[in-house]
Structure 1
C-alpha cells in the first residue's frame, strides 16, 4: 500500500490520470512553436523585401517589449494596421498576411488561457508624406518586434 502515492504521481506526471492536462500542455507547446515559426517566416519575407528595395543600410527603431499574449496581440494589431497603410506589393501583402496570421494565432492561444485581449485598433488614415521612408520605417519596426518573439517565447505562457 505504501507504493500507491508513488504510482499515483508517476501516472499523473505521464498524463494517464489527467489526460486533459497533458493534452492542453502539448497543444499550448504546439501553438507557441507555430507562433515562433510564423514570426521567423515573416522575418525572411521582410529581409527579402528589404533586399529588393533601395534602402538605407540600417534604420534604428524601437519597439515595445513582449510582455505576454495580451501585449503581443495588441502590438501585432498595431503593426498590422501600419502595414495596411503601405503601398501594395506582392511581397508586402505576404508580410501583411504573416503578421495577421501571427496575431490570429496569438489570439487563439490566449482564449483557453483566459486572457483578456484588447480590441484590435482601428486603421488610421494614411499619411502620404514620404511614403518611401514610411515603408522602410514600418518594415524596420515590424522586423525589430518579430525578432523579439523567439527569445521571449516563455512570455507566450502568460497573459
Structure 2
C-alpha cells in the first residue's frame, strides 16, 4: 500500500516541479535573447552615429537577480530621458528585459526593490548624455551576458 501511495505522490508532485524548472530555463533563455537583441540594436545604432568614446563609469557588479533588476530599472529610466529620444527601441528592449528579470526574481522569491522614480536631468549636454547612456547600456548588457549564471541566484 505504501508503494502505491509513493507512486501516486510522485506522479502528482513531480510534474509541477519539472514544469517550474523548465519555465525558469525558458525564462532565462528569453532573458538572454532579449539582452542579445538589445546589443544588436545598439550596434546598429552605433553604425549610424559618429564615433565617440565617452568616459563611461564602471557598471555596478552583477551579484544576482536583485542587483540586475535594480540596475536595469535605473538604465531604463536613463533611456527615457528626452535627450535619448533616438533610443526608443533600446529603451523598450531594456524595459522588457527588466520586467522579465523582475518576474524571474519574484518567482524565485528574491528580494526586489521598487522601481526607482525617474530622475529629471537638467542636462546641458544632451549629445554627451545620449552617447554616455548608449555606452552604459552596451557595457552593462555585455557584462550581463558574461555573467548569465547570476540569473540563477538572488
Aligning the two structures, in what range does the TM-score lie when normalised by the shorter sequence? 0.7 to 0.9
Count of aligned positions: 145
Cα distance in 1, alignment partners of residues 131 and 71 from structure 2: 18
- The corresponding residue for 2:33 is 37
Report the alpha carbon displacement of residue 66 of structure 1 after superposing the two structures with TM: 1.4
Q: 2:75 aligns with which of 79, 83, 91?
A: 79
4+ residue stretches of structure 1 with deviation over 2 A?
58-61
Larger fraction in helix? 2
Unpaired runs of at least 5, structure 2:
none
- TM-score when scaled to structure 1? 0.84
CA distance in structure 1 between the aligned counterparts of 2:29 and 2:13, rounded to whole angstroms: 26
Give ranges in structure 1 of 5+ residues lacking alignment: none
CA RMSD of aligned residues (A): 1.9
The answer to whether the 8 Å contact 2:31/2:97 transfers is yes
1:98 corresponds to = 93
Cα drift, residue 38 of structure 1: 0.3
TM-score w.r.t. structure 2 length?
A: 0.86
How far 1:60 sits from its partner (Å)? 4.4
* Alpha-carbon displacement from aligned partner over 1:65-84 (angstroms, at most 9, x marks no partner): 21111111100000011111
Q: Relative to structure 2, which stretch is displaced further, 118-127 or 76-85?
A: 118-127
| TM-aligned CA deviation for residue 128 of structure 1 | 2.3
Residues 73 and 117 of structure 1 are in contact (CA less than 8 Å); yes or no, is this contact kept in structure 2?
Answer: yes
Matching of residues 57-136 of structure 1 within 5 Å: 58-61=53-56, 62-85=58-81, 86-89=83-86, 92-136=87-131
